């Protein structure tokens, strides 16, 4: 049997200085980048297992020292 894994899509914004760290943490958490937009800042849209989401949000909060901004309801 294959276990059913609930996936969650998240969206965050970070500075260019944090782009590499954000990408590495998403990858380390098993996330899959869906979209990356470069403007004044970098916008990341990614999916990962729902049970890993809270830990990743906390980890990015620590790494970014509050400079990673989460966009709620960005994905419908």
CATH of the domain at 50: 3.30.70.240
User: Range of 39's domain?
Assistant: 7-70
Q: DSSP states of 14-57 as a string?
A: E-GGGHHHHHHHHHHTT-EEEEEEESSSEEEEEEEEHHHHHHHH
Domain count, the chain: 1
Asked if residue 2 belongs to a domain, the reply is no
40: in domain: yes
Nearest to 64 by CA among 26, 28, 18, 10: 18
- The gap between the terminal CA atoms of the chain, to the nearest Å, is 31
pLDDT of residue 76: 45
1 found inside a domain: no
Given a contact cutoff of 8 angstroms between Cβ atoms, the answer to whether 10 and 34 are in contact is no
What average pLDDT score do residues 1-17 get? 93
Instruction: List, for residues 14-60, the tens digit of each pLDDT value.
Output: 999 999 999 999 999 999 999 999 999 999 999 999 999 999 999 99
């Amino acid at each position: 049997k294959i276990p059913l894994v609930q996936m969650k899509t998240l969206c965050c914004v970070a500075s260019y200085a944090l782009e590499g760290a954000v990408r590495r943490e998403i990858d380390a958490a098993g996330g899959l980048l869906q979209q990356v937009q470069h403007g004044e800042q970098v916008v990341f849209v990614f999916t990962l297992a729902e049970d890993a989401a809270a830990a990743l949000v906390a980890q990015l909060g620590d790494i970014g020292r509050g400079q990673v901004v989460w966009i709620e309801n960005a994905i419908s």
